[in-house]
Amino acid sequence: VIANLALEYMGHAKGDYRHLHPNNDVNMAQSTNDAYPTAIRLGLLLGHDTLLASLDSLVQAFAGKSAEFAHILKMGRTQLQDAVPMTLGQEFRAFATTLGEDLEHLRLIAPQLLVEVNLGGTAIGTGINADPSYQALAVQRLATISGHPLKPAADLIEATSDMGAFVTFSSMLKRLAVKLSKICNDLRLLSSGPRTGINEINLPPRQPGSSIMPGKVNPVIPEAVNQVAFEVIGNDLSLTMAAEAGQLQLNVMEPLIAYKLFDSIRLLQRAMDMLREHCISGITANEDRCRQLMENSIGLITALNPYIGYENATRIAGQALLSGRGVLELVREERLLDDATLDNILRPENMIAPRLVPLKA
C-alpha cells in the first residue's frame, strides 16, 4: 500500500516496482518481528491516556463523595460482622485511595515498561540486513514523531523473544479490574435491601428491576462493571498463556497479546466512565439508617471499652445480644457513663481515629 501510494505521488503507475519496491525499499531493514512489537508498545503509550483520564475522573468522584459523607457515622464491618465505627466518608475515601494507587502506578510504570523497542533488530534481534546506523536513527525519528521517549532495547534478541513488559502491563490492568469489582461488590452490599438489607446508601435507579416483582430496583451498573472486570481478568490469563507459549527467538502469539491488551483498556475505560456517570455521581446516603445501625450494634461496645472496662463491656454486650436492646440504652440504664461523656465519646472525630483516653483516678 505504501509503495503504491508513493509510486502515484512520484507519477508512476501502481505496481511499477522498478522505481520503488515494497520489500527492497519501503520495508528495507524491517521485519515483522521488530516492527510489530514496536507498534504494540507505541500503540499502548499513545492509547492508554484515555484510560488514565477515566480512572482519574473516577477517583475524583469517589473523593467528592468522601467529602460529602464525612460527617455520617456508621458501623464498619469485618467478615460481614459488625466491627467498629467509622464514617461513610472514610469508606468512600478508601475507594478513592485504592484506585488512586493504580492511577499513579500506571502513570509511572507503564512508560518505563514500553519505551524500549526492538526496532532495527530485524528477524531475531541480530540486526541482519540493517545498516549499522539504522536502528538509532529510526528509533530517534519515531520518538520525535510520537512524542514519547522511545529508545533502543539494550538486548535486541531478548526484546524480540520476551513478552515480559506486556505481561506486567496486563497484570496492572487486571489489578485495576479486581479493585473495581471489589468496590462494586461493596456498593451492592451497602445498598442492599431496602427493607431487609444494609441500606446505608442509595444507588441511582437506572432501569426497572423485575418483570415479576413490581417496584424492585437492581444495582445494574455495579453488576455490569463486575462482569467487565471478569472479562479483563480472563484477558490477562489468555495473554499470560500467550506470552508463555513463545519459543526460542520469537513469540508468534503477539496478535493475541495485542488484542487482549487493547481490549482490556477499552473495556476498563468505558466501564469506569459508566460507573462514574451513572452510579457514583448519584449515590445518596441514608444518614438515619447509618446511625441507627451503629447505635444498635454490639460493635459499639468497643468504643466504650476504655471507659467502662472490659468486664462491664463484655457483660453489656451479652445483655444486648440476649435482649435485643441497644448498647447505649443499657449503659445509660446502669449509669455506667453520664450523657455528657457518652456524647463526647460518640462525636465522629472521637470515634474514627486514635485518641488518648483519660486515666482513671
Catalytic residues: 210
Beta strands in the chain (DSSP E): 73-78, 81-87, 116-117, 151-152, 201-202, 284-285
Torsion angle in degrees (nearest 10) through CA of 76, 81, 83, 87: 10
- Return the closest-CA partner of residue 86 out of 321, 348, 283, 311: 348
Identify how many contiguous H helices and E strands the chain contains and give both numbers: 15, 6
Write out the three cell numbers for 256: 493475541
**Which residues touch 202 (CB under 8 Å, ≥6 apart)?**
191, 194, 283, 284, 285, 286
Write out the three cell numbers for 336: 455506667
- Return the closest-CA partner of residue 37 out of 132, 155, 116: 116
Decide the pairing of beta strands 151-152 and 116-117.
Answer: parallel
Question: Helix (H, G, I), strand (E, B), or coil: what is residue 83?
Answer: strand
Q: What angle do CA 245, 251, 252 make, to 5 degrees?
A: 95
Q: What is the CA radius of gyration of the chain?
A: 30
**Which residues touch 305 (CB under 8 Å, ≥6 apart)?**
313
